Chains A and B, each alone.
Chain A
Amino acid sequence: MAEDNREPPAGAGTLREALRALLPHRKEELVPELGEKVERSVVQLLWEAAELFCGGRRSECLQASEAILDYSWEKLNTGPWQDVHKDWRRVYAFGCLLKAVCLFEEPGDSAAVAAALKACDMGLLMGAAIHGDILIKVAAVLQAHLPSAKRPGPGLAEEQPSMKKARDDCVSVPDVASERLVPRLRCPSLQHFRKQFLVPGRPVILEGVADQWPCMTKWSLEYIQDIAGCRTVPVEVGSRYTDEDWSQTLMTVDEFISRYVRSESKDVGYLAQHQLFDQIPELKRDISIPDYCCLGDGEEEEITINAWFGPQGTVSPLHQDPQQNFLVQVIGRKYIRLYSPQESEALYPHETHLLHNTSQVDVENPKREKFPRFAEAPFLSCVLSPGEVLFIPARYWHYVRALDLSFSVSFWWS
């Protein structure tokens, strides 16, 4: 490894040492095992990059890792995502890893450390695990050397937002009392839940099941920013994903909170359907997996846990998912409406393959002439509050609107 002649600042030296300690030292160990799908030319470039890294030629290694990233990115965008070969995602993760550890020339430059952390996050978001989740370890080390005081990013105007932020008077809380409500049960037995709700596919709100989870008391905007503020996450921008104006973008959690949660944004931003707890294992310790998931056929590792974090007013249009769902409410309240799969025709699903699991109807503002049968379709509704768990049976149509600043955690299981 090339040695610097300068005295590096104390903190920086430990950062570099900490990172070097995480990585394999020999280039033979550095390049991940890959199959035939990855072309010979790419493998050649990976070896070259590994050699440059082990030789301490950081800026050349950075250049090579950019090419690795750009090429594997193209593969990740070719064909349906589920058909993308895992080896390409490993190559992408490898490129992110090298980029992350090569990015800072000037240790102590917090912008460079933030950029390195972003590279890790890109690898976590789109790559596949290499070297035993090394990107998570590298991210943790980088994050530890990026104290909140020195974090670059948007200046936060307000310091202490209220959890129950009452923005305007136009919070329209539906008159739920006039609607048929989702039944509520306190800690039903596994057998009772299975017999009365899982097997027949009936929704129910479970109380007393998640209300003692650490997240219920620990999570706040400050806490989330502390643990995850500098991490890059996908954000949906636009009122709802069926709109023409809807798009997805990446930003740090700090940026998301500053732009879409604390301030009066013209646009709605929603950190939606993101496996945040795989990216940031520290948050995973604040949640559990509902016991009732063991009634399913799948393994615990196969359960998909998603975070749903956004301001008042986020909307998920009426849609159905193929798996069973436990929706755990942590912060704020959500208005949720549920329609049985038997009513599907009256919900006018889109005809395209892309949106065939989504209804064309705007539930709280339906076009009655265009969708005449919708008004007659029976439904259940509720306001889901912190500590409560809603069971949404597989294929059950659901519509969700956040009545407050909201954080929910969903568990998709089979």
Chain B
Amino acid sequence: MAEERRGSWFGFGFCGFGQALGSGRGRQVHSPEPLRTPGAGADVRRVSASWSYTAVVTRGGQVQLSGAADGAAGGCRDAWASEALLVVLRAGRGLGPGPELQAWAPGSALRGEPLWTHTLVPEAEGADGAGGEAQAGALPLLPGARAYVSPRPPFYRPLAPELRARRLELGAEHALLLDEAGQVFSWGQGRHGQLGHGTLEAEPEPRLLEALQGLPMAEVAAGGWHSVCVSETGDIYIWGWNESGQLALPTRSLSEDGKTVAREGEASGLNEGGPEVRRTAGGEEGAPAPFIALQPFPALLDLPGGADAVKASCGSRHTAVVTRTGELYTWGWGKYGQLGHKGTTSLDRPRRVEYFVDKQLQVRAVSCGLWNTYVCAVERGES
């Protein structure tokens, strides 16, 4: 997985706790604003945002918190923010040469003693070269891919080595795993169709997404109750709960609000909806598309103009995708401005965030918190 290029970070959406989001004084930021990180020019390597606070990790190894949790510390390779726990990967200190995994209560983060620590075995990092740099940004997946961190006990969860995990993402009640061969596994609760196996049943153990077999994936992203993955050829597959349009499929809640959605049949390759597919009036050709509450099978999603996707990230109920040409598309729940379209309208179709186009910026990466969105972009013309 490519490292994030040097670029500037921007943020928009919920900042009710004063977490780093541009001006951040109001409770919501509706359009992208540059991140104000202390230490001008500090190169941000990763942004991990929870609901009430945001953790920023710099290339220099600093982790900086803002919002309901604050503080900073050094010697940090990676950080992952959740409401229950802040998880930090510190370069080897104390006992052994391996990196130390620290879990902090966000309220007292980085001060005093962590809630617990776990020293990782150095050779488990694999042949990644100098200090396992390329593994950074993988939390909650641990270096060596033998285990991952959960915000709920048990906090340390082993993974079967044959899974060969490359990337792991956690939703509110499910988990997604991408392996070295580009295959996707899912497990956890399935009542919202977020596991993608075509049922609403739970899966206790990682189960292969058979619908995607043969299509190597490059990225996975988990929202609260939905799942997204991006193939190596730039296609987006999406499944799970669509109550706010986070699957870019028509949802009744948006049409009843009077926001008519002019469908152009963007979600092609639609597999059978689950038992909660509801049909609107009509049924002749040209009739309005059906409302979809749940999509328990992966559905192929086309972006406007057939753009290829390269990165994806999900908040609770919204989705953000970066294209190969450096554009950012967002859709889903927008009540706190997390879609970045200068309003609080929710959308059930992808829309480009014009700010980056207007400012001649190429988007390189995106990282969503529960109700906000952080974006890394470079000036066009830079490599």
A interface list, Cβ under 8 A from B: 39-42, 44-45, 63-64, 67, 70-71, 74, 77-80, 238, 242, 244-247, 266, 352-354
Contact = CB atoms under 8 A, between A and B. Distances in A.
A247 B27 contact: no
Contacts of A353: 201
B277 A244 contact: yes
B107 interface: yes
B239 interface: no
A266 B281 contact: yes
A40 B172 contact: no
B68 A74 contact: no
A354 B189 CA distance: 13
A41 B51 contact: yes
Contacts of A245: 277-279
Interface of B: 14, 16-17, 27, 51-53, 68, 83-84, 105-107, 172-173, 189, 191, 199-201, 224-225, 252, 273, 275-279, 281, 293, 316, 335, 370-371
A357 to B, nearest CB: 15
6 closest A-B pairs by beta carbon, nearest first, are A41-B52, A41-B68, A78-B172, A39-B83, A40-B107, A247-B278
Given A246-B275, A247-B278, A71 B201 contact: no
Nearest to B256: A249
Given A42-B52, A45-B16, 19 more contacts: A39-B83, A39-B106, A41-B68, A41-B83, A41-B107, A45-B52, A67-B27, A70-B335, A71-B51, A74-B172, A74-B224, A74-B316, A78-B172, A78-B173, A244-B275, A246-B276, A247-B276, A266-B281, A354-B201
A44 B67 CA distance: 12
Contacts of B14: 67
Contact of A79 (B68, B189, B199, B275): B189
B225 A77 contact: yes
Contacts of A77: 172, 224-225
Q: Which of A45, A71, A80 has most B Cβ within 10 Å? A: A71
A247 B293 contact: yes
B16 to A, nearest CB: 6
B27 A63 contact: yes
Contacts of B225: 77
A247 B292 CA distance: 11
Given A41-B52, A41-B53, A79 B84 contact: no
Contact of B68 (A40, A67, A247, A354): A40
B256 to A, nearest CB: 9
Nearest to A41: B52
A95 to B, nearest CB: 14
SS class, residues of chain B in contact with chain A: loop
Q: Which of B51, B107, B173 has most A Cβ within 10 Å? A: B51
A63 B273 CA distance: 36
B68 A44 contact: yes
A125 B84 CA distance: 27
Contacts of A70: 335, 371
Nearest to A67: B16
21 contacts: A42-B83, A45-B16, A45-B17, A70-B335, A70-B371, A71-B51, A74-B172, A74-B370, A77-B172, A78-B173, A78-B224, A238-B278, A244-B273, A244-B275, A244-B278, A245-B277, A245-B278, A245-B279, A247-B278, A352-B200, A354-B191
Nearest to A64: B16
B106 A41 contact: yes
B338 to A, nearest CB: 12
Nearest to A355: B275
Given A41-B51, A247-B278, A354 B200 contact: yes
Nearest to A248: B276
Nearest to A75: B172
A65 B161 CA distance: 45
A59 to B, nearest CB: 12
Contacts of A40: 68, 105-107
A247 B243 CA distance: 12
B16 A79 contact: no
A39 B53 contact: no
A41 B14 CA distance: 14
Contacts of B191: 80, 354
Contacts of B105: 40
Nearest to B17: A41
Nearest to A60: B27
Contacts of A39: 52, 83-84, 106
Given A77-B225, A247-B278, A352 B199 contact: yes
Contacts of B27: 63, 67
B106 to A, nearest CB: 7
A266 B335 CA distance: 33
B128 to A, nearest CB: 34
A150 to B, nearest CB: 24
Contacts of A238: 278
Q: Which of B27, B68, B278 has most A Cβ within 10 Å? A: B278
A130 B77 CA distance: 44
A233 B100 CA distance: 52
Nearest to B28: A63
A70 B273 CA distance: 27
A258 B240 CA distance: 34
A39 B85 CA distance: 10
Contacts of B276: 244, 246-247
